[in-house]
Structure 1
Amino acid sequence: MEQEFVTYEVNDRVATITLNRPEKRNALNAQVVTELKNAFKHAAEDDTAKVIILAAVGDAFCAGADLAYLQALQKNTYEENLEDSNHLKELFQQIYTHPKVVIAKIQGHAIAGGSGLATVCDYSFTVPEAKFGYTEVRIGFIPAIVMVFLLRKIGEGKSKELLLSGELINADTAVEMGLINRTVAADSLDETVEAFAQTLVKKNSGQSMTYTKQMIAQVQEMTLNGGLDFAAAQNAKARASEDCQKGIGAFLNKEKPTW
């Protein structure tokens, strides 16, 4: 698929969606968000892709919202701004609930909306030099949409620490807080992320990862009893699935299933 700021390619069943606006530090505007949504929609429908890597070109992973774009939005009506806000909301929700596992490969700073992208991915690997933070309060803005996902990911106390201070944190602190999974030296980042993606591709059932990811997103909204009832129903459903039958059959025959 041809787009101006976001590229898409598949190799060995791994789709790589790449932000390619390095001259603007991969900042987000309406077009970039649209192109990301297009790419993730395409990945969901692409049978040749089992796992997704979200990457970026240049020194920064993503500097957040394009400030010139935000300034232009100040002339909009409330209805126009709500439409634009929903546009970003839909992207974050699309990644968070995507049927395929999404791995962020963070080669540089991820600020504001850039940290938001890292927040909604299932896994995030970063170079030690990268900085993270939600700096919206320092420009009179609010980290409204990402807040919903960050609270789920790292809890209220740590979320307040980041969202209310607007301070940047280093990669090690991001790992300690649970925002990022692990740091990797820059010269090993590509190899490490690709190897991890291939582990998921070769060792795990794609169907099982999809169901598990969907349950994680949904069960947190339920009461204890409701969540357990939902889990029991999903458990029963999974037992009858083709992948479960294949996996158990292979285990009993002392074989490795081919996923």
Structure 2
Amino acid sequence: VFGLACCSDVVILHASARFGVPEPKVGFIPSQIVPFLVRRLGEGPVRDLAVTGRVIDAGEAHHLGVGRYLCATAEEVEATLDGLLDDILKMEPEALAVAKRLVLSCATKEDRAVLDDAAESLVGLLRRPQAAEGIRHFMAKTQPPWAKRQA
């Protein structure tokens, strides 16, 4: 679950969540998740967890950046999820996919290459009819047709 959380775009933590890197305790390594943990949390916290076998609670996981949203109850998790879905479903799908690729590329490319790719992606998106339509709706303070849910 720890690795999956660190691969996810958006993570909601319930207060009862616990995370750790127990593999070295039983004689092997967390080879499949460590790259994602390091990318999300940084080398220091992951090294600490790997060499100590310590388990962290949801509060510390939130502080380290495992999840952005920390909820005390199941009801709060549901309400947070509903709000996030409302936000995400208002995004134009292709622009959302390109934005996600751009963010992910920042971790693997040099700054200049990221900026070049970002400019190229922006020009490509602005040439689409959805861009003009989105701008019209923004200026008119109305929802574009791809906004599937209302907050």
- TM-score norm. by structure 2 comes to 0.85
Q: Is the 8 A contact 1:207 1:243 kept in 2?
A: no
Quick check: 1:198 aligned with 2:86?
yes
Report if aligned partners of 2:13, 2:62 keep a CA contact under 8 Å in 1.
no
The match for 1:140 is: 27
Higher helix share: 2
- Cα offsets for 1:18-73 (capped at 9, x unmatched): xxxxxxxxxxxxxxxxxxxxxxxxxxxxxxxxxxxxxxxxxxxxxxxxxxxxxxxx
> Which one is further off, 238-247 or 128-137?
238-247
By relative contact order (CA 8 Å, sep 6+), the higher-ranking structure is 2
How many residues were matched structurally? 145
Give the Cα separation in 1 of the matches to 2:88 and 2:47: 33
Aligned mates of 2:11, 2:65 — CA distance in 1: 10
Summarize the alignment of residues 84-233 of structure 1 with structure 2, pairs less than 5 Å apart. 114-188=1-75, 189-201=77-89, 203-233=90-120
> Which 10-residue stretch deviates more, 137-146 or 238-247?
238-247
Long gaps (5+) in structure 1: 1-113
User: Following the alignment from structure 2 to structure 1, what is the Cα–Cα distance between the partners of residues 48 and 67?
Assistant: 16
**Pairing 1:68-87 to 2, within 5 Å after superposition:** none
Give the Cα–Cα distance (whole angstroms) in 2 for the partners of residues 258 and 164 of structure 1.
Answer: 51
SS in 2 for 1:123: coil
Point out the structure with the larger strand share. 1
* Identical amino acids, percent of aligned pairs: 26
Distance 1:141 1:170, change over 3 A: same
CA contact 1:126–1:171 (8 Å) conserved in 2: yes
Aligned with 2:54: secondary structure?
coil
Aligned to 2:149: none
For residue 62 of structure 1, what is the aligned residue in structure 2? none
